Each structure stands twice: as structure tokens, then as C-alpha cells.
Structure 1
Amino acid sequence: MKLLSKFLLVAFLATAFLACSDDDDAPTPPQGDLTIAGLVSENDQFSSLLAALERTDLVTPFVGGSGDLTVFAPTNDAFSTFLGDNGFSSLEEVPESLLREVLLNHVVNGRVLAADLTTGYVTSLGLGSASESNLSLFINTDDGVRINGVSNVTTADILATNGVVHEVNAVIGLPSVTTQALANPQFSILVEALIAASNDQTNYVDILSGSEASPFTVFAPINSAFESLLSGLGASGLGDVAPATLATILEYHVIAGSNVRSSDLTTGLTAATLQGEELEFDLSDGAQVIDATGVNANIAIVDVQTNNGVVHAIDKVLLPQQIVDVIDPTITGLAMMNDDLSSLFAALQLTGLDDVLNDRASEYTVFAPTNAAFDIFLNGSALGDLPVEVVTQVLLNHVLTGTALSSGLTTSYTNSLATFGDTENNLSFYINLDNGVRLNGVSSVTAPDNLAANGVVHIVDAVIGLPTVVTFATADPNFSSLVSALTDDGQAAQNYVETLSTPNGSAPAPFTVFAPINSAFDDLFTELDVEGIADIDPATLTAALNTHVVAGANVRSSDLMDGTVTTLGADLTVDATAGTLTDPNGRVSTIAVFDVQAANGVVHAIDTVLLPQL
């Protein structure tokens, strides 16, 4: 009888599994001299494995099969530990059906050599009690080869005629949801959260290890999802979140009593969670889960099948309404929780500004561009294609210090947190309330006054790029006549817009522009007895405009001293005390607004058009 069992075992192991490919032209894989069964029967370290295979009569269901297989083969010591840990004195005490599935959980279809193993999930031939789908194995190759976090390959690539054997130092038991959470390093914060949320009455690690209320469907946030949540809440770690709050959040990720696999999901499907509220699913743009925030979580990995349920990895921590109603998110948190601000949130994380806008000790006003606004700004590029320092300055150009509600905004200049070059001079920011709220002439507020724990967010329809001196000229209606002069068709001054829009660092930037306001041009028209810009001689107009521009210098009010400043058209006399400029004709202009700082220079508004020597 013993000889017959061995014969049947050899037949089973030689023919049990389908080959990875039937391509006759495929290269012949390396082979040993013995079948896998022969290797097991001839190696004394596998005598317990051999006895277990014989006892479960695994050959019967696979008579007539063909193909290669990969076996993670536990040693005798591994079986001894397995029996002791589970309260069995011998293999005969293990229920045959359980032993059979445990053995099959060590077998993978196809010939997989150690060099071909990668960190990730594979499917064994074992079946659990939660589903008719095969169990998942997590292979971790970070340090050798570790399976399901419990068993290490000690001798790899023992070649056979019908596959390969990898000797392992522990029996790979039927995994629970907890097993897979512990095995995958990407779930380490989830495990910490389960422990932190547990108490004497409720142990979430034990619950997800057991069968009561199983099978479970668990949407398991990866570490980056928890990091984003903590960042959005302004928390430095899980310790800053109350255990009861953690428990509520974690229970919202669990569907009890159902093994919901990806094939069971449909758009619009809802399911009640262990917390009590429902999740909704959307498959219109990949597999996604919708929580109470309305910000979809992507299902990154589906159908990690365990003995007591199934795990799907997601890229966002789901929040129920119960939590949304009581949390007091920071500005970063609001961005994280608003599906239309996901690009902004990604940009904040890229630059590290998510930490800045999490600071509850400071207050900020943020003009937050939508995803559509970012798409237009990026123009087909990815956010990561831009230098981080550029993205940082662009984002800072959307941030003001203090809390400014829409009712407190006025048409005026203020400063953003972006800076000019390598200086500490903040860039200016022009707010115009003539028709809604418009910013720097390029972006409008569409949803104002979204309050946060550390300020307010106004959602806007366009990214507010770093301004040039032309930006402010076109944004401020007080400079409309100047813009007409700079852009007048047919005039030699036509190229001024292009020139004055050059970025900081491009010759001859930076520029200092003494910009006449509209009333200054009205006075000039009266002085010259003309009706408008079109009536001024092009050469005279060009010379006049040159007289208002200093090239190659960012001359702020603090830099102005009594004496002479040289422009492209003439030398001007400065009276720093009076705040005036005098042109070569003795015409005096008062500086009405100082230090409108652009990224490529600075603008000072003046009340008289200056002229070169007449």
C-alpha cells in the first residue's frame, strides 16, 4: 500500500498542473533528473510533507493533467512547528480537508525560478472557506524570498522534470485578512491603526483574523493613503487621532458577511459597512470607491483572497459622514477631501507645502485652482515634469497670509507668499472686484469662503502663474491707457509687451517700470492736443515709453535715493523724500503706488507721463 501511494503521488505531481505556455517554440526550461515527487520522496527533510501528501490523496483529482508547477516545500521542522502552534500532536489529528488546502496553498501553477520571483501577489491552488476563488500568496523579495510574511525560502531552485521546488522554513497556513495586512509592508500603517483603535473589548487584529461575522471584504488603504489623511488632518501621526475616531474610520472600510470580489462590483452598487454607513462604487474610470467626502479612492490591487475574506488595496483612506461632520480640516485637509482639488493636493505634496498649509498656528488665504485649471496650466505635461522649485513658487503665488473672506476683499494690491528671484521680496497680487473676484487678471473665484481650521480657501478657475510687469499692466484697469500705448497697432512700441513679459534672468530683465496711470495719459493728450494714442507720432511714443523703463535692475522704493536714475530713454531726477521723478523737461511726476513686485521686475505707478528731452 505504501508503494502504491508513492506511485500515485509521483503520478499526481508529474501531471497536476497546466503549463504556462503550449508554444512549441518556447525555450525548454531547466530540468532536473527527478519529478517533484521524486525530490520529495528522496529528501529526508521532506518526509512530513510526503506523509501529508499521501494522507490527503491529492493525486486523485488531477489524474490526466499535465504541466509544470512550483512548490514551496516545508521541511520536517516546519511541520513540527505548525502542528505545535495549532494544537495538533500529529499530522493524523489535522482534519484532512484542512490539511489538503494547506498543502495546495504551497503550490503555484507554472515553473517559477527564484530569479523570476518579484514582490507582489500570486495565486496558489489552495481554497479557503470564504470563496471558491483560489487563495493569494504575497511574495516579498526585499530580503531573500518571504511568503505571506511567515515563511522564508531557505533553498531555492531545486529543479525537477515537471517544475521546481523551493525549500521553506515554515508551513504557509491558510491566510486571514490580518495575515495579508501583516505580510505586505504597504499596509504597515493600517496594521498600526488596527492596533491603535483596539481596546479590551474590541481587538480589530483578532476580528479580521477570525471567522465571526466573516467573510470580510476589506478596502485596505496603503501607507501613502494614511500619510495623506494624517497630513490633511494636520496630525503628526496616528497618536494624534483618537482611538474611537480611528475605530470608526477603520470599520467604514469593512463589509462584513460578504466576500465581494472585483467581478461583483458594478457602477452604482452600494454596500453597508461594519461602521453602518454605505460605500458606493464607480467603474466608469477604473475601479473606484466613493465615500462621504465624494473624493473617489482608486482600487490599486484587487482580489487578494484569504481564508476569511478578500482584500482590495486602495489609495485613499475612506471617511464616513460621521467623521466628516466632526473633523476640522486644515487647508491641506480641505484640498485632500475635495475631489476637484486633487491636482492641487498632489502639487502640495510634491513641494512639501502640504505641511505649511497644515500649520494650525498660522492662518492663510488660498486661491485654489481646480483640476481643470491645472490641466490647462500643464498643457499636456505631468506635474512631475516641472522643476519642484517652480511649482513651489507658483503655488505660493496663490497664498496670502491671514484669513481674508470674500466680504473682506477689496480692489487693491496685496502680496502673495511667492518671492522675486532669490530675494525675500514677495510678489504682488492684484485683486479686482469690478465683476466678481478676479486675480491678476487671469483667474476668477468660483466658490468662495470654504473655511478651514487655519484659514479660508477660495476655489478659482485658473492657475495664477508668476506675474510679469505686463501681467499687472493688463490686470489693473488704471493702466489701460498704458496697455494701449504698449500694444497700439502699427506703432514701433508693439514689441514692448513681448519684451516686458520675459522671465526674470532673461536679458534685459529685470525691469523697473514707472507706469503712468490713465489720468496721466489724459493730461498728456491735453498737453499734446491729441485725442489719443493713435494720434501720437510713433517715434515720440517709443521714446516716451523708453523713458519709463529701467532695464537690468529691480529698483524698489527702498533703493530709490536722491539723484539720478537712468532709463532706456533719459536720465530722471529722483527726490526720494518727496517721492517724485523729474524728466529732462522739468516735468514732475509723483509716485502714487510703490513696489508692485513682479517675477521679472517691479512697477511703480506714477501720475504724469514722463518725456525725453524735447
Structure 2
Amino acid sequence: MKKLALIFLSFATILSCSNDDDNTTPELESLNIVESALITSDLSNLVAALQAADGDLVNVLSGSGPFTVLAPNNAAFTAFLSANNFASLADVPTDILKQILLNHVIYDATLMSTDLIAAGSGYASTEATGAGDNKMSIYFDTSSGVTFNGISNVDTPDIEAINGVIHIVDAVIGLPNIVDHAVANPNLTNLVSALTTDGNTTFTDLLSTPGDFTVFAPTNDGFTAFTNPAGNALNDILSNHVVTEVTATASGLANSYVKTAATFGATTNNLSLYINTDNGVTLNGISTVVIPDIIASNGVIHAVDAVIDIPTVVTFAVADPNFSTLATALTTLTPSTDFVATLSTANGTDPAPFTVFAPTNDAFAAITVPEESVLTQVLLHHVIGGMNVASGDLNNPGDTVAPSLEGDNLTITLPSTNTNIADLTDGSGVSDIGIVTVDVQAGNGVIHVIDKVAIPNLMN
């Protein structure tokens, strides 16, 4: 009854605007958005939906705003009900109906058609609640008329009200999932094509399900530039762009490693992805976020400018600024040895896979870096060849012993004697080297971060 009273009050407001002497009709610009909808015959289903939805949407849209409202016409609502097997608006769950209606409302902006056309295309945020309690994104494209999310076209633009503007559209705009957003944006057509190559439904099925996903979506230009130099499987490459079980918006990103849906070989060890936020957002040192925070119902898309190939252990050594001294040691300081080529060897090709113990910059700063021949042996002593020894593979409690490429053994001991994750004993007998980060998983091996440089027995 309260909602009906609000509607009748709105009608009364309209009628009170009439002048009995001259029988004039009130100008739309003197009405708010709800009042304008009430006197527009082709929006009667929208008015009924506002009444049916739980919550005070009528009051909200009667507020000061400003709002940009995409108002589905009556035919749009009829088609929506039919497509979803609803006999009437009463059959639509009120919580879903409320979110769908809110997905047609852009708050704190009066976006005229001229504003949209001037922008060309892009994203705005609606009042619907998307993944991670973020406001849902909506994509507009003006290359042919004005279209929203690739499905709803503006039929009647620029109905001005005192608290915003209404654009009448020809289709109800549902709550988009990640796949819907990818399909709607013409700059992601190469991604969509890759996801569905040869009828593949693995990714469209996964990314259409409820949940939380973070997807780094290469643009068309990114795909065009990618030559797949290592010949990696397309499904593996695409999986390496997906982070599951989290909606990570740009504001929550920091310099860190996350796990992607791609795995190492035939194992269940998920590959790592290095995120750097020192200057924008860069992934594995090769791909930069160009459009952040495209919010869907089941996660977030960040559009990126390059395809993120399957990383090698070298990829992380170069991408992570904590390894900048190590990267210099592997290249500039040891020109006679092609460490980059060796450590880029494909998984399953001798001497890959690798287990690499990577000293931080602080670890190198604590020693005097030796001349090239000795440094070469020191670097080789940080690598175990032919084995991908993840933390779950270690003896616990106990020692795990393996020979380094230099020849001397490395010994990992669990539990550690202090706050480190594990202790490492090098070939010279130093046993207090701390393993401080584990399982940075590449496609051809795994990296564990250590706080001291390991030294082999230089007397043998």
C-alpha cells in the first residue's frame, strides 16, 4: 500500500501542475524521473516493475540525483519475461528484479546522448551490486546508435527531468557476467574468439558460473602482437589470465604474487603471476592494465595490452624488482654463460624443470660479489636441475637433499629453526640461510626466495 501511495502521490503532483484555466500540460523538465515515467505510456511496465521491486526505488529516483536512467519500454519488459519463462513481473524474485532495475541507473551523472557520442565508447558504473560488493559496470558503444552491453539500444534519447535524464531503450539489460562483458566489448573480440576456438566451452562455462574471478583480458591489439614464441598450448595461456576465488579490483592490488588457473605440467601446482603496481599495474613485467575494474556479477575484468605467456623462471627474475641484482648477475656480470637461455629451457627438456633458490637484493648487498668465474659457480649453486621441488614435496620433518647444477648439494630442512619457512644449507656448510617465500611457480620450474646468497665449496 505504501508503494501505491507513492505512485498516487506522484500522479497527484503531476495533476497539481496542470492549470485548469488554460488546460496546459506540464513540461517534462519540471518533473522528476519517476513523474516523467508515469506520464510516458510506453514505460508503464517499468513503473509496474518499480512498484514490484522490493525497496524504495520510487523514492530513490524521486530524489535529487542526478541520475541517468535507461528505461526499458513495454516491449522490452514483455520480451524479458518471455525469455526467462516468467508469466508476469510478480514471478520475478524481488531481489533479482531490484538489481536488474538498479543496473539501469547511473547515479551522480546526467549523461546526455551528446556526451555518450562524444566519448564514443566506454564504461560507467550502475547502482546494481556486482562481485565483491562493487558497483556493476555497463558498457556503452555509439558506433551505430547508442548501445548498452551490446544488447540494448536507445530508442528515445534525452528525456530531461529535474533530477537527471531518461533514455528509453529497447531491451532489459540483465546482470552481466564476465563472458557477457567480454562479448559486449568489440575490443575484446579476439579474446572471445580464442576462448571459443573449435567450439571450446571450457572458459565460457567456467566464467559464466557464479563465483569470484579476476580476469586479465588482452585487447585485440594484444592478441594481434602475440606470436606464441614458445608454442605453448592456447588453453594454458588463457588459463594464465584467470585468477579464481577472488574479485581483485585495482585499488586492492599490490606488488605480490598470485596464483592463476594454469598449472605446471600435469600437476595441480598453479602457476604464479607477478603483479607490480609501482607504475600502473603490470603483470609478469610484460602486460599492462589499460582498462581496470570492469565489474561483472561474478568477478572483475582488467583489460591488458599484451598476452601473458606462460612464465619461465627467468620471467620472474626479470619482472620482480626484488631480484634486480640477481638478474644483473645472471646477465651483465656473467657474459660468458648464457644463463637466460638455460633457465628458459622448456619443461621436460634437459636440464628443465628447475628449482631455483633466488637471493633477494638485500642478500646480494651483504656480500662482495666475486669475479665472473667464481660468480658463475655461485649462481649455478642456486639451481637444482631436472626437478620441480615445491614446498609440498619436502620432507617434513627432515632434510631434503639434491645436487645443484654447480655440483655441491643443497639441503632444505623442515621445520626451520627460526621464523623462516624453511632452512637451507649450502655447499660451504652455512646452515642458516632462510627460505622466506616459497612456490613461485613458473612453467619450467619453481622459485623459492632466500635471504642469503648460497656459496658452494670453492675448495673442491
TM range (shorter): 0.5 to 0.7
Matched residue, 2:371:
537
TM-score by length of 1: 0.46
2:173 is equivalent to residue 330 of structure 1: no
Instruction: Report the AA paired with residue 455 of structure 1.
Output: G
| Corresponding residue of 2:403 | 566
State the partner residue of 1:520.
363
* Aligned counterpart, 1:429: 273
CA-CA distance at 1:291 after TM superposition: 6.2
Q: Say if 1:548 and 1:292 are closer, same or farther in 2 by CA, change over 3 A.
A: same
Q: Equivalent residue for 1:442?
A: 286
Q: Against the structure 1 CA distance between its residues 338 and 563, is the aligned structure 2 distance closer, same or farther, given a 3 Å change threshold?
A: closer
Shift of 1:560: 2.0
Decide whether the 8 Å contact of 1:393 with 1:418 is kept in 2: yes
Secondary structure at the residue paired with 2:196?
helix
Correspondence list, 1:442-521, <5 A: 442-488=286-332, 491-493=335-337, 495-521=338-364
Cα deviation 1:56-90 (Å, max 9, x = unaligned): xxxxxxxxxxxxxxxxxxxxxxxxxxxxxxxxxxx
1:455 Cα deviation from its structure 2 partner: 0.7
Shift in Å, 1:523: 0.8
The structural deviation recorded for 1:373 is 0.2
Q: Give the letter aligned to residue 322 of structure 2.
A: N
Specify the alignment match of 1:343 in structure 2: 190
The superposition leaves residues 484-526 of structure 1 with CA deviations (integer Å, 9 ceiling, x where unpaired) of 0001156333x0111111221222111100001101101122x
Q: Is the partner of 1:564 in helix, strand or coil?
A: strand
SS at match of 2:176: coil
Q: CA deviation at 1:369?
A: 0.7
Is contact 2:216–2:304 with CA below 8 Å preserved after alignment?
A: yes
- Give 2:429's match in structure 1, choosing from 565, 580, 586: 586
Residues 490 and 470 (structure 1 numbering): CA distance in 2 closer, same or farther, change over 3 Å? closer
Runs ≥4 in structure 1, deviation > 6 angstroms?
A: 241-245
C-alpha deviation, 1:378, in angstroms: 3.6
From the superposition, tell whether residues 582 and 369 of structure 1 become closer, same or farther in structure 2 (CA, over 3 Å): same
Could you tell me which residue of structure 2 aligns to residue 358 of structure 1?
208
Larger radius of gyration: 1
1:544–1:326 CA distance, 2 compared to 1 (3 A): same
- Counterparts of residues 134-173 of structure 1 (less than 5 Å): none
Specify the SS of the correspondent of 1:374.
helix
More RCO (CA 8 Å, sep 6+)? 2
SS of 2:193 mapped into structure 1: helix
Residue 413 of structure 1 corresponds to 257
Equivalent-residue separation in structure 1 for 2:281 and 2:339 (angstroms): 28
Cα distance change on mapping 1:473 and 1:599 into 2, 3 Å:
same
The residue identity in structure 1 corresponding to 2:433 is S
Q: Note if contact 1:330-1:454 (Cα within 8 Å) is conserved in structure 2.
A: yes
Amino acid in structure 2 at the alignment position of 1:292:
T
CA contact (8 A) 1:418 1:426 kept: yes
Query: Which residue is equivalent to 2:153?
Result: 320
What letter corresponds to residue 327 of structure 1 in structure 2? Answer: G
The separation in 2 between residues aligned to 1:609 and 1:456, in whole angstroms, is 40
Please state whether the residue corresponding to 1:320 is helix, strand or coil.
strand
| 2:216 maps to 1:373 | no
Assess if the C-alpha contact under 8 Å between 1:293 and 1:338 holds in 2: no
1:77-92 equivalences under 5 Å are none
Number of residues of Structure 1 aligned to a counterpart in Structure 2: 298
Aligned AA (1:549): V
- 1:523-576: CA deviations, max 9, x gaps? 122xxxxxxx5xx22110110011000111100011122142211111122212
User: Matched residue of 1:366: which SS?
Assistant: strand
- The answer on whether the counterparts of 2:152 and 2:173 sit within 8 Å (CA) in structure 1 is no
Equivalent AA in structure 2 for residue 356 of structure 1: L
Secondary structure of 1:471 counterpart: helix
**Contact 1:294–1:339 under 8 Å retained in 2:** no
TM-score by length of 2: 0.61
Looking at structure 1, the residues matched to 236 and 339 of structure 2 have their Cα atoms a distance apart, in angstroms, of: 26
Please give the alpha-carbon distance, in whole angstroms, between the structure 2 residues aligned to 1:338 and 1:477.
34
1:201-212 alignment runs, 5 A limit: none
CA separation of 1:403/1:509 partners in 2, compared to 1, >3 Å: closer, same or farther?
Answer: same
* 2: CA distance, partners of 1:334 / 1:243: 28
> Counterpart in 2 of 1:596?
440
Query: Compared with structure 1, are the counterparts of its residues 513 and 326 closer, same or farther at alpha carbon in structure 2 (3 Å cutoff)?
Result: same
Q: 1:290 to 1:425 in 2, by over 3 A?
A: farther
Q: For residues 564 and 390 of structure 1, what CA distance do their matches in structure 2 show?
A: 33
Q: How does 1:45-64 map to 2 (within 5 A)?
A: none
Of residues 386, 402, 410 in structure 2, which corresponds to 1:552? 386
Q: For residue 8 of structure 1, what is the aligned residue in structure 2?
A: none
Q: 2:241 aligns with which of 398, 421, 442?
A: 398
Shift of 1:372: 0.1
Structure 1 residues 358 and 539: CA distance shift in structure 2, 3 A: same
- Alpha-carbon distance in structure 2 between the residues aligned to 1:469 and 1:453: 35
Q: What is the identity, as a one-letter code, of the residue corresponding to 1:576?
A: L
Q: Indicate the RMSD between aligned Cα atoms, in angstroms.
A: 2.6
Alpha-carbon shift at residue 586 of structure 1 (Å): 2.2
Unpaired runs of 5+ residues, structure 2, are 1-81, 90-140, 155-168, 417-421
One-letter identity of the residue aligned with 1:575: T
Give CA deviations for 1:108-129 in whole Å, capped at 9, x if unaligned.
xxxxxxxxxxxxxxxxxxxxxx
1:492 is paired with a residue of what secondary structure?
coil
